[in-house]
Chains A and B, each alone.
Chain A
Amino acid sequence: MKERDALIALSLAGCHYSQSLTVLREYCNSFSEVLSLTENQIESISGIGPQMKGLLSSCIKNREELLETTFCVQDKFTIKTLLDEEYPEDLKHIFDPPWVIYIKGHFTNHMPFLGIVGARRATSYGVWAADHFSRELSNKGIGIVSGLAYGIDAAAHRGTLDVAGYTIGVLGGGIDGIYPAAHRSLYQQIEESGALVSEYGPGVQPQKHYFPARNRIISGLSRGVFVVEAGEKSGALITADFAMEQGREVFALPGNVNQKASAGTNRLIRDGARMVLETDDLLDAYPEVKHSTKTVRDSGEWRNQLSLAELEVMDLIAEGPVQMEMLIYRLEKTVSEVSSLLTVLELKGLIQQLPGKTFTVY
């Protein structure tokens, strides 16, 4: 029996905890020997719990069937183990890398990654930022890693997919499960052009405590983690903690101090995370990537293409997100004039509409 097959068999049987697997390997010297332990030997292992021991003995009893399943699963999914050469280099160096990762889609190692994470209950500001920065970074050739959750995660994935960038979604459940179910089409899109990664084999139902564990893979795969929006107790802060432990860069987006949804990110900045004001702040962690010379907006070239009235609107919006009502009031134009100017600017890709008829630069 090959060492690698034995490891995958153990993982498929439910031995997910990388630390338990490490203990087993040290005890037996190799995973293939783990599968031929006797009951008494199992009992005498220290460092793993009774549940794990029960799992192990049933594993050994059904060894043959288990190995068969292992071959089937290997046909269906790409699997990388810590024993393999091609195991992602960055992930290898974290405190407890997953022994086995299951992959769906097209996994590549040949680009630097940034994790973009944040609260599921995101505000329009957060969604804008996740979308905006994931686009900018994708255009620079940086892959975006996130967790496929609602809110910030989904915005980051979608922003990347929109500009045909490369994105990795790290799942908190089995590799073939879609959670949340509403993200089915997002899941499929990522599978087509990016990759889905999970520490858990097919058929594993997501558990509450799997998600924090999943976060260490998000940060582990990435060179830096960018927390876009997080409340006082958001799970995104766990990812930031992992990133710090793993020696990765932590970035955070500043927010309104009165806004609870930004309390976590603001605190991160106070505690030393790098504040992100523009794309270049993120790019500092990627010296091999050329810093953005000016974007379309910064270059000012667009100014020549706008009419006087359009410029007037643009200048007001450039001051900060502004409600249509306020534009009408400040510009002293009719509602229909302002509406049509806004549409023109929107179609030119210079501004973006947020809920509540609020406009902001794109």
Chain B
Amino acid sequence: MLSKTTTASLTGLHVLKIDVEVDTANGLPTVNIVGLPDAAVKESRDRVRAAIDNSGFQFPMQRVTVNLAPADSRKEGSHFDLPIALAILLSTGQLPAEPLKEAIMLGELSLDGSILRINGALPMMMELQRQGYNRVILPWENRYEAGLLKGLQCCFPKDLRELNSMIQKGLTFADSETFSQTNPDHKQEWPVLADLRGQENVKRALEIAAAGAHNLLLIGPPGSGKTMAARRLPAILPEMSFSESMEVAVIQSAAGLLTPENASFRQRPFRAPHHTTSAVALAGGGRIPRPGEISLSHRGVLFLDELPEFDKRSMEILRQPLEDGCVVVSRSAGSFSFPSEFMLVAAMNPCPCGYAGFEEKGQICQCAPHQVQRYTNKISGPMLDRIDLFVESRRIEYEDLTKETSSENTATVREKVRKAREIQRQRYRKASCYTNSGLKPAQINQYCPLEPDAEKMMKQAFDRMKLSARGYHRILKVARSIADLDASEIILQQHLAEALQFRNMHHFKRS
């Protein structure tokens, strides 16, 4: 007998509705899956057989043909287990067809019949809902993802037995809006700013960077707290808006990172890949491409510690995404575009030994001048051009550790940053960007008005600091963020003056 269930497939972030058709006919007992399944889908035949047998049903001793339609697109993932199992049960008449009509099924099966978590549930549900499917059968562990969608009817059976008894009672679906979007047990504690003793300029730079989503480069000797500072950035970043969080959740879901343990909706991602990370892992890749680190840090922070240690190729791969906000990965399976609007935070030493320019207390740089140059030259000019804030951190003194700091606490800073972002959101309603860092050169004149005194200062600085056009724009954008933190519509001289302090590139002087 022929039966049909509905599910979806995910390639990259692209979703396709899939019909699972099962035909059972007399003949030698065998199971054939057709429709370009990959290994995980092919193996599903063994999981499905055991799950059915172990849940009080009977696997048909017949010739079973499973077709995944449309048959010309490749399917991957383990979420086809549940729709295949249900289609087999329907075709052998072990379950009534009526209650399951119009429902999407997603889920992996364990050999004992329990339904397990899957990757990519969110993008698949979103797309099918758009196509008019409102009922979904989903693993219990994917419930937070369903909670993100409005107007979806969900059902979360724990295993096939429970699903059977639900169906016998007449399957009921619950409204998705009644589910929580985040795990209440999941509390992410970010390290706080107060841990940073002294380092006032570093803290201020973090604040400005967070306010305008600016790219930041920390330079300092070993042990000066560069990494420590960068890790405190998430604590002061504002929460994401709903639409931003959805973009992020879709990527995380596709990458399988949206587990119940870290379902932290609205929390901006913070990714810190190690410097041995390959170019492909950063950009995204695979036969059927998966999002890489730069996409996983979309709307959040990509932190590259020890920047010069990164492979040259990996580093240069960041250039296009930093400019365009998306990365296009082409493979044999097709060409996929992943969003990648992230804030780049990088940390580095000034030279191989770490002390060039930071000589103090008899600690001097041991490197030959050409070694220093070779080290800093690893960061290419185009890469430097994309950095908005250059911040030097120095080693802290004993006094810093003991001194009472007057600096603001994390909550105040976060509130200031939130307000500044809100100002930007209002200002850029009609523009094509979210934050100051996203301003295009053509928009800068419109959105970054300078007061007359500031204009005079800019001219002076332009000549004195020998700025490039790009450097000039970067300074204006940073000044814009400083003015926003100050809730000033026009950029005052003091804002510009402060912005100029973060354009200190003497470690990269090239002769």
Contact = CB atoms under 8 A, between A and B. Distances in A.
A186 B511 contact: yes
Interface residues of A, number: 40
A328 B200 contact: yes
Given A339-B204, A343-B500, A357 B369 contact: no
A341 to B, nearest CB: 8
Contacts of B357: 124, 354-356
Interface stretch (B164-172, B284-292, B457-465): B457-465
A53 to B, nearest CB: 38
A347 interface: yes
Contacts of A329: 403
A324 B500 CA distance: 15
Interface stretch (B24-32, B35-43, B440-448, B490-498): B490-498
A343 B501 contact: yes
B22 interface: no
A154 B510 CA distance: 12
Interface stretch (B248-256, B274-282, B358-366, B378-386): B358-366
Contacts of A343: 457, 461, 497-498, 500-501
Contacts of A337: 494
Nearest to B199: A325
Nearest to A261: B364
A121 B359 contact: no
B498 A339 contact: yes
Nearest to B220: A356
A305 interface: no
B362 A260 contact: yes
A355 B201 CA distance: 14
A323 interface: yes
B362 A357 contact: no
Contacts of A293: none
Contacts of A336: 204, 482, 494, 498
Interface in B163-218: 198-201, 203-204
A81 interface: no
B359 A154 contact: no
Interface stretch (A92-100, A177-185, A216-224): A177-185
Contact of B394 (A121, A186, A323, A347): A323
A259 B362 CA distance: 5
Contacts of B367: 121
B494 to A, nearest CB: 4
B313 interface: no
A204 interface: no
A21 interface: no
- Max chain A Cβ within 10 angstroms of own Cβ: one of B201, B367, B495, B511: B511
Interface in B431-479: 457, 460-461, 464
A332 B405 CA distance: 11
Contacts of B400: 325
A356 B511 contact: no
A325 B504 contact: no
7 contacts: A180-B370, A258-B361, A323-B394, A336-B494, A347-B457, A355-B358, A356-B220
Q: Name the 10 nearest CB pairs between A and B, nearest first.
A: A355-B357, A340-B497, A150-B369, A343-B497, A335-B200, A340-B494, A339-B501, A339-B498, A335-B204, A343-B500
